[in-house]
Amino acid sequence: MILIADGGSTKADWIAIGEDKEEAFRTRTLGLNPAVVPEEELHNRIINMFQLINVKDEVKEIHFYGAGCGTPKPIKILKDILESIFINAKIFISEDMLAAVYAASKNEPALVCILGTGSNSCYYDGTNMEMLVPSLGYILMDEASGNYFGKKLIVDYYYGKMPSEIAEKFNEEFNLDADYIKRNLYRESNPNMYLASFAKFMFDFKDEKYIKKIIKKGFQEFFKYRILPYNKTSETPIYFIGSIAHYFRDILEKVAKKNNLKVTGVIQRPIDNLLEYHKSIIK
pLDDT tens digits along 9-58: 888 999 999 988 889 999 999 999 998 889 999 999 999 999 999 999 99
Homologous superfamily of domain range 2-99+271-281: ATPase, nucleotide binding domain (3.30.420.40)
Asked if 64 contacts 7 with a C-beta cutoff of 8 angstroms, the reply is yes
Asked if 63 contacts 5 with a C-beta cutoff of 8 angstroms, the reply is yes
What is the tens place of the pLDDT at every residue in 86-143?
Answer: 999 999 999 888 989 988 987 889 999 999 989 999 999 999 999 988 888 889 999 9
What is the tens place of the pLDDT at every residue in 175-212?
Answer: 999 999 999 999 987 899 899 999 999 998 999 999 99
Cα 98 from Cα 149, distance rounded (Å):
24
Phi and psi at 120, nearest 5°, equal -170, 175
> 3-class DSSP state for residue 19?
coil
Beta strands in 117-163 (DSSP E): 119-124, 129-130
What's CA 253's distance to the chain center, in Å?
20
Closest by alpha carbon to 239, among 145, 128, 100, 96? 100
Cross-strand partners of 130 = 123
Asked if 161 contacts 211 with a C-beta cutoff of 8 angstroms, the reply is no
Cα 283 from Cα 280, distance rounded (Å):
8
**Domain chopping of the chain, boundaries:** 2-99+271-281
Beta strands in 194-262 (DSSP E): 238-241
Asked if 17 contacts 4 with a C-beta cutoff of 8 angstroms, the reply is yes
Amino acid at 173: E
Task: Write down the mean pLDDT value for the chain.
Answer: 93
Cα 106 from Cα 188, distance rounded (Å):
39
Question: How many residues are recorded in the chain?
Answer: 283
pLDDT at 152 over 70: yes
What is the tens place of the pLDDT at every residue in 254-265?
Answer: 999 999 999 999
| Torsion angle, alpha carbons of 66, 22, 242, 34, to 10 | -10
What's CA 160's distance to the chain center, in Å?
30
Does pTM top 0.75 for this prediction?
yes
